[in-house]
Amino acid sequence: MMWNQYPQEQVAAQVKQSLFVRTMNYTALWTVLYGIFVALLIGTGLDRVFGNPIVSLVLVLMVMGASFLIRDPINASKAALAAYGVFTSFALAAVSSLLIHYVAYYKSSILIAALVTTFLISGATILAARTVKISEDKSQAIVKFLIIVGIAAFIASIVNLFLKSGIFGLIIAVIFLLWSVAALFLTINQLDQIEALVGDNPEILDKLALWESVGVFIMFYNIFISILEILLSLMGSNEE
């Protein structure tokens, strides 16, 4: 019947966007939890404990290990996926809480600038990802390139934990910033393709949203920390 054609189209449009909407909702949850964890760690003084480079490295490796253990989000339980998101929020808060404590206390304007810049860059990236479509062949090639660059940058950051080179750290921060923006764009860009493959099953979409949201949150975190480190490095150079 003609009278219910428009409502059906409206529902179809909502379903088409549901994976994206669910993913961003869960991303917002992890982001809020991250802020709470940072505040708790700073308030209790535990940020100094987790500020140890070895402890931070172990936490990062645990997050990576958890992602490999889950692997297939469709067959994983929602509880395991949710626990992975909560743990990632805590781990990244623990890794960065000492830095944020320092910046908030001594250079709060830099922290505000980093937050605003992160919001603008992430928002623009998401908008572009929802507007521009990339073919599957190109996306696969980009993924392979990002994996190689990401591994190289991660190894370089570990090396710099011991070298503690300001210039090397700045270069790594710039690379991580560009890498994170590209990875965020690709992740958001592929959500519709993923949804088209799995259909509109709410249970599967929710599991995929939980899984994808952790990746999006990590990209947000990388963008924020990279911008923060770049601004600190530039500010230090100007003071010198």
pLDDT of residue 167: 86
d(CA 18, CA 220): 21
Please tell me the predicted confidence (pLDDT) of residue 16: 47
For residue 213, which of 104, 82, 122 has the smallest C-alpha distance?
82
Q: Enter the pTM of the model.
A: 0.86
Per-residue pLDDT of the chain (240 residues; tens, 9 = 90+): 334 444 444 444 444 447 999 999 999 999 999 999 999 999 999 999 998 888 988 999 999 999 999 888 999 999 999 999 999 999 999 999 999 999 999 989 999 999 999 999 999 999 999 998 887 777 777 888 888 888 888 888 888 877 777 788 889 999 999 999 999 999 999 998 889 888 888 899 999 999 999 999 999 999 999 999 999 988 864 444
- Cα angle: 233, vertex 178, 52; to 5 degrees: 50
Confidence (pLDDT) at 236 = 65
Radius of gyration for the alpha carbons in the chain, expressed in angstroms and rounded: 19
The DSSP result for the chain, as a single string, is -GGGHHHHHHHHHHHHHHHHHHHHHHHHHHHHHHHHHHHHHHHHTTHHHHTSHHHHHHHHHHHHHHHHHH--TTTS-HHHHHHHHHHHHHHHHHHHHHHHHHHHHH-HHHHHHHHHHHHHHHHHHHHHHHH----HHHHHHHHHHHHHHHHHHHHHHHHHHHH--HHHHHHHHHHHHHHHHHHHHHHHHTHHHHHHHH-S-HHHHHHHHHHHHHHHHHHHHHHHHHHHHHHHHHHHHHH-
Which amino acid is located at 147 in the chain? I
Longest dimension (CA), the chain: 74
